[in-house]
Structure 1
Amino acid sequence: MAASCVWKSCDQDRKKAACESAVVVQFSNGNLKNTDHVDFSLYRNIDVNNPRKKSRRIVVAETERLSYVANNFGPESLKCNTLCKYYVGVLDRKTKRMEVHNAQLFNMHPIIPGEYIPEDKTSKSIATSYREKVDSLIEAFGTNKQKRALNSRRLNLVGSEALHNAVAKAADGIIEQRGVEALEQDVAQSQAQNDVMHHLPPCYADASRPEDVYPFDELLSPVEYAALEEAGCKLADLSTEELQKMEQEGSPKTVLLLLQTLPMNAEARECQARCAWYLGQLIKLSHQKRNINRKAFGEGCPRVVHNKIMRTFTIEVFNSGRLQSMVPTSMRVKLAAHCLALLLHVGQWTADLTLLQRDLGLTDTKMVEVAKSMGLRLSRRYPGVGDVLDIPGLEEEHRLATLELPLVKYDQSRRRHKRKKMS
């Protein structure tokens, strides 16, 4: 009767150290018959804190005639390691126990002595050199079908090179006519405009009503709006002395203006108070830089609102062996656009750009660019016109943004031409 064997995973053995994955190699130019005259070496990446590099391995095989190298990263690595999971079993004939180890497959490529590859060459040049060798073999020993395919590929390569030369010649002509500085300014302005458009809130330019252009539910969902009930009630019940204390503590002037102009209608008053609290959190977030956590929003921030802000306005970066949340410069533009859209809803489709720009710490040019990208009509409020509240800074000349239908379409090319002419 055959003896029974026991299957055992190496991860379950507490007496051993952490198991290294077994290595299964195959040679690209043949099969290995005698392993006694081959020396294998395994190298690992020393950066164990980086999750992308700590699993990188290089296998080297030394023989009397050739050396072979393989790795599990880069374009030459086998894709099957990411698609499947491999195991290797080691049977102990005495104890009849089999240890099962994780395994990785490596494809060994020979390194021909005498070939020198400069250090400044990239993997693309290496691949090109290999392609040239294969092409020379096809020319000498290939079939007629392979030779026709080779000629066709070379003709296409000649055509692409001719096209590249024509494009390069045309680009040189444009550079001579306009100059490098003018082209760099056009590219920078186009990229800035695309970045701003990418971070705008959802816009429906064909809407028939102003409230449908930037829907309120896209800025604050019904669930998030309901979660702000307690925070909004506290702001709505603040006294004059408490508002003055907030002003002395450096609270955003945009939030103070909303709290000092709360409407008498109960529903509108509650809506404006909730928006003022949410707006204050967005302005506070714009001044945060790195390692943002829940404590940065205070104790009264609902979890659903906190998750929405972190998901929408922050990104995760890898730093010092852990993930951290931060607000990059591009997200500050997104914050400005969402704050402006929220102010339009509570301000009868008019918002004070100057106050918002100062609270967010943006430049006046960037704030105007955001407003124009949103299709808003710009105007100015001069001192002495309208009711002046007891907030420092409102007695100055301020820039206003108004949402009117149809949305204003600003001509970017005309603006660039005017700046170029003035310079």
Structure 2
Amino acid sequence: MGEEKKEKKRKHHHQSKDKEKKRSKSQHTLDSVQVKVESSVTPVLATFPGVSVPEDTKFQAYSGPKGHYVIHGETERMEYDGQNDPDEDLYYVGVYDPATRTVELMHTPVMTTTRTIKAYKKKAIAAVKQANVQNRVQRNALGEAFGTKKAKRVISDLERNKIEAEKLETYADSIVDNIKTATENLPSADALREQQSEERPIPPCDEGADDLNNIYPLYGLVSKEEFVAIRVGAIFREKDEKKRAALLPFKNSEYINSRVARINNENEMQRLKLLYYASLLMGLYNNRRMSNKRALLQKLNHPAEILVTGLIQKFTDSKVGKVGREKDASFTITPKMEDKLLCYLFVTCLRIDEYSVETPLLAAELSLRPTRVQDLFKALGCKIRPCTSAQKEALGLTNAEAANYKLATLSLPFKLPDLVRRRRTAQSRR
């Protein structure tokens, strides 16, 4: 009995040792290998049922929304395309790293791939195109047989204007040569800009100017010789407002007369000269139906002759059919020249009013629609703005009047608007 107990103890001892060895071995394996589930998709599994793919075929994988993936590869003769079913993507690939003794599990889409023979694909496209042609021919035949007159006319126009590419192939070189010949003499971008600048009815300007006084230079408005010829000493010495106004070329402008009346300092002589020139321009506009220099001199209160000569050169054209006669004896102010005259007048007013002009005053004095005055100021690069509360109070305007009382303001940075070509009617010039 004693020996049997010893034998049982020995067996129990050996069994417990074996269990400890197994436990320590399993614990060692679990402690040293970590499993990590990677969220980003890296590998792709593709199946090619019944298809042998060359080993050097390259595939590109693309991901779409909601777990959709596609792959595409091709050889000289074949195309291979595959896509997955997101509902059945239950596959993971394990990547073991012996250095860190870790396994990364990566969710992997499985692609079922099919192949397409490229030559058959081209034939299929051609067949579809041919089917479309046949359908169109049949539809046109039905239209010609049972359609209305309008439908038949449309079908006839389409057939007549149809261009067949095959027939054009023989003329391709000739067409290209004709296009080259036609475009050889097209103006460059710089030439177009210069031409557009000449077509604008505005004084010379500097779009890169960094000072308001340099945007429209003084001697671009009026030549230096003309500006020197403007004599305003008698106007400055006269203290009576009505007598001052009587010395101006155009006496009936409240805009000019009110500003001339406020000048009482010799430092303002240049501004007084600008007011005189503005009066001269306004007088020319109000006598724009005249066609004779001598009569115009008399109407403008006999200014220096060089000033009237300059006006005729800048703002008038010779009358049609008056060949051989001097321009001084027969000229006309065309609608285009009328716009130019008004633009020169408005730039002069901008310099007088420190680059912020009340447009309703000028519109009333020139008998022009406010919108036309505003359009011409916009052509000069001005912004049209409503008057401020302080200006409304200073001018004594009601809220209703202030809503339509606009100011034309020239500011930096300066930019001319794009030139828009449109037909002008006689009514639009008023």
- Same fold at TM > 0.5: no
Using the size of structure 1 for normalisation, the TM-score is 0.45
Query: Larger relative CO (CA 8 A, sep 6+): 1 or 2?
Result: 1
Higher helix share: 2
Using the size of structure 2 for normalisation, the TM-score is 0.44
